[in-house]
Chains A and B, each alone.
Chain A
Amino acid sequence: MFEIDRIPKSVIEALNTRGVCSDGLLLSAFCDRDQALMPAQIYLFADKDELLLLQGVAVTERHGNRHGASPKAKEVFRVLSLDRYPISDLKDFCVEELLSAGRLTAKKREDGTPVFLSSFTNFRKASLLLFAKYAEKLASGEPLEIDPKDDPASKRCPKCGLRYPDLNRRVCPHCMEKGKLFQRFSVFFLRYRISIVFMVLSLAVLTAMSILAPYFSSGFFYDEVIYGTGEFAGQILTVLFLVIGTRLCKVLASMVNNYVTSNIAAKMVFDLKKTIFSAIERLSLSFFTGRQTGGLMTQVNEDANTIYSFFCDGVPYLIVNLVQVAVLTVLLFTIQPVLAILTVITVPIFVLVLRWLFRKQKMFHAKRYSHSKQMNSFLADVFSGMPVVKAFSREQAEIDRFTGKNKNLAQSEKKLALFTNYAWPMAGMLLFLGNIIAWGVGGYMVMTGKGGMTYGMLLTFIAYLNMIFDPLNFFTDFIDRTADCSNSMQRLFEIMDAQPDVSECENPICPDPLGGSVEFCNVSFSYQKGKKIINDVSFEVPDGGILGIVGHTGAGKSTLVNLLMRMYDADEGEIRIGGYPVRELALSSIYQNVAIVSQETYLFMGTILDNIRYARPDASFEDVVEASKCAGAHDFIMRLPDAYHTRIGVGYQDLSGGERQRVSIARAILKNPKILILDEATAAMDTATERRIQEALAELIKGKTTIMIAHRLSTLRDADELVVIEHGKVAERGTHRELLQKENGVYKMLFTLQDEALKSAGIRE
């Protein structure tokens, strides 16, 4: 049985006592609501003949002697009702979505009356969608073949059994192996091993010198030089030189450290960003449509910085700080064990308080960050919508809205500043507490001479004591940094490991030249499961032919193009270019031979020349000029101050929609593809511009296989054949003339309608 949800044994038993043999059941799922949307336990089963709905309550019954030692607890499913439907009487299994819940319904096969099977909350939606899908198959008498993608096991973490929170991202946050992450990453990190060795070494010297410094300046200076006892008695110059020497070493080490760090930082961030960017570029289009582009940009930037700062800032300091704390503790205890114990007691308190402070501060930071983000997006929104604001004279309202956001931001900034100003001096007080103990107890010891304490030793002791707090400060923050970094690395690896949805087959063929014919054979496709955008579409265009595709917005026209370009793979059926299935062709072969001019033209920042040459960077100047003349772009380009070297893009020369379109056509002409796709290329133009571009296009499509997609039917006059797409299906096919002769034809209607509209507007095409 395909258990979409796990069925408890007690339920199977209950089913058996009701005379249903559970062995033959093929499908099962669980619903958590009844028809009236009240909480309930309803199990659905299906086999070849029947659909069963078992409603009941799971209870725990205790058996045996009431006074017995161990009454056996047993799960029992008390059946409230059992509904049975002959499954072949039902059709159109469907999940109707409510707001936070849904209904599983079907229709009677004979008269289409709806049948209410059960309700559920959206927690169960994924399961019930599957149930509907397979129940439909059973009802129509098809054999039950389970798509491995639908297996619920693939939706759970194999280790802990918990469902993945995001099915597109099969990562179980509970079982993510941090160790492995860091291990995998260290390979990347090892590239810089020499620099890192230098870094750790310089840091070690730095720390050693910091530890030595008080020893000379306090210990020797007071106890030996000034009191005149011991080895260095009276040798003030020697000790001074020692002090200066340690200081110089320290400065030198810190210079080396800074040099290495700045070098490695730039290099590593560069490498990281390159890795992330190339990993992203490799992926199929669906990856980008599924996410926000803005999110991707921050990901490239922020993740690189987080990872870098962890490995370059965090790890070396961690090592050095660990050593420092160990050495300092040993030193403190050797100087005066009793005093050390007394003062070190304050350390755990200090650490706890620090942790609390960090948490608190982070929250204030996060709040401020979120407020400033809100403010920024508000500003971006209003400034780009300025024409609308002016047109509706809503300036004052926008000022008020701004004031609100501004106030929030100011307030959270004030809170953060106040916190920082109050909290840290308080933490300083705790630090001071350790000092006070040292001064008091240590001073007493020096005065009475107990414990062999001298004034110099006390000064050294206090200097060390204060040095121990810095690393502690670092450690408390380090835990959170580790978490941040592992998150960033996780995301990075996720992208690096992501398989492009569309990948070349093992031995892609690269025929040269590739023929220009295009065939769609029974192609079906859906972006989302269950919603077929393209449904069994077939047509063919001979080499050099012109095909027009007509249809409403959302009919699936552009999807056809995406499929041909292999931005996505068809779920069913086959697409062939020049007789070769696109799946077997090398992607580069497809991209070389197919060009798209679409309604949304994207021109990159750079010169017009760069943009036209984008498809063929090695094109000669003659070719570029020729192409833009064909596209009707040359004239307007020559009117620009820097002609072909005019920079376009944000902050530079602004081109009008028609001009951009002509540049993009020039780009396509320069590519000189076998197959040309015009996806609403002129939809956004006024009639005069459209006419001009039409002429340019007429030049472009000579001798090429062309697929034209258009709303405006007049655009398609030159097409050899027209395909009318409706709801993802081919509704009609034929030439313009043939289609016009069809009574009640969709095309005929569209045509008459547009014709009339034009007539009534006084325009004759």
Chain B
Amino acid sequence: MNHHPPMPPRGERGEGRGKAHKERTLEQISVTVWLTPENASFSMKNGFLYITCNGIEQRAFLCRQFPFELLWEFISVLDEEQCEIGIIRNISLFADEAHKLLTDELNRRYYSPVIRKIHSMKERYGFSYWKVQTDEGEVSFTLHDTYRSIIRAGGGRVILLDVDGNRFEIPDVEALDRRSYKKIELYL
């Protein structure tokens, strides 16, 4: 039923119009480029991650394809326009330096504080105010529409989305101490 707009082929435009409008054909999208140490190398410049692939060096943005399940596998590498350069099947394919670069970048990209303990939770007028202990110390945050802001991500994993756009994670909600668990129990 859905009528998709036709995709213009890359060659006819694109180059002449600058990088901002890089459209890709269906064929280009459906062909997967698997990145390996043979065809890609990574480096760090001014705090940014760079990839060199096919002789082109550009900034690389990493994305987990299955962020709840596979942390170090199926990593999409995107360019500045968010177009996929290729996929890393498993970052362990890359050794030493590159492996460390990728791990660090992914850790930063997916940084989200882990809640170890819930000190207090107060609900008022559709908002809930939380005080929690994370690995980095005590943090307070606010949830709006508490039921919908607390997501079960399979297993005991729970994710809290606050009003500022922060994500907090509880790796295993059952493993929380009893007092903390009771505070969140109602919303699970």
Interface residues of chain A, those whose CB is within 8 Å of chain B, are: 35-37, 39, 98-101, 113-116, 119, 121-123, 125-126, 165-166, 171, 173, 176, 363, 366-367, 370, 487, 490, 551-553, 680, 683-684, 711-712, 726-727, 744, 746, 749-750, 753-754, 757
Contact between B3 and A753, CB atoms less than 8 A apart = no
B105: min CB distance to chain A, Å? 10
Which chain B residues lie closer than 8 Å to A125 at the CB level?
A: 164-165
Is B66 on the interface with A (CB-CB < 8 A)?
A: no
Which chain A residues lie closer than 8 Å to B163 at the CB level?
A: 165-166
Contact between B13 and A99, CB atoms less than 8 A apart = no
The verdict on A98 contacting B125 (CB below 8 Å), with A122-B166, A684-B1, A749-B8 known, is no
A132: min CB distance to chain B, Å? 15
Which chain A residues lie closer than 8 Å to B186 at the CB level?
A: 363, 366-367, 370
B100-132 toward A: CB 8 Å interface, digit per residue (1/0)? 000010001111110000000000111100000
Contact between B127 and A98, CB atoms less than 8 A apart = no
Closest to A113 in B: B46
Given A35-B47, A123-B141, A370-B147, list of 19 further CB < 8 A pairs? Answer: A36-B47, A98-B110, A100-B168, A101-B108, A114-B46, A115-B46, A121-B166, A122-B165, A123-B166, A165-B142, A165-B163, A166-B144, A176-B125, A366-B186, A487-B125, A490-B125, A744-B16, A749-B8, A749-B13
Contact between A116 and B47, CB atoms less than 8 A apart = yes
The one of A37, A173, A551, A683 that contacts B3, using a Cβ cutoff of 8 Å: A683
The verdict on A753 contacting B16 (CB below 8 Å), with A490-B125, A684-B1 known, is no
A116 to B166, CA, bound (A): 21
Which chain B residues lie closer than 8 Å to A122 at the CB level?
A: 162, 164-166
Main secondary structure of the interface of B (DSSP, over half): loop
The one of B4, B47, B126, B167 that contacts A99, using a Cβ cutoff of 8 Å: B167
11 contacts between A and B (CB under 8 A): A100-B112, A100-B113, A100-B166, A100-B168, A115-B46, A165-B142, A176-B125, A366-B186, A367-B186, A370-B186, A749-B8
B106: min CB distance to chain A, Å? 10
Which chain A residues lie closer than 8 Å to B97 at the CB level?
A: none
Which chain B residues lie closer than 8 Å to A757 at the CB level?
A: 6
Contact between A173 and B12, CB atoms less than 8 A apart = no
8 Å CB contacts to A: which residues of B133-184?
136, 141-142, 144, 147, 162-168
The verdict on A123 contacting B164 (CB below 8 Å), with A366-B186, A744-B13, A753-B8 known, is yes
Interface residues of chain B, those whose CB is within 8 Å of chain A, are: 1, 3-6, 8, 12-13, 16, 21, 46-48, 59, 104, 108-113, 124-127, 136, 141-142, 144, 147, 162-168, 186-187
Which chain A residues lie closer than 8 Å to B168 at the CB level?
A: 100
Contact between B3 and A711, CB atoms less than 8 A apart = yes
Which chain A residues lie closer than 8 Å to B126 at the CB level?
A: 487
Contact between A100 and B167, CB atoms less than 8 A apart = yes
B73: min CB distance to chain A, Å? 18
A363 to B188, CA, bound (A): 13
Which chain A residues lie closer than 8 Å to B141 at the CB level?
A: 123
The verdict on A165 contacting B167 (CB below 8 Å), with A116-B47, A727-B21 known, is no
Contact between A553 and B4, CB atoms less than 8 A apart = yes
A91: min CB distance to chain B, Å? 15
A34: min CB distance to chain B, Å? 9
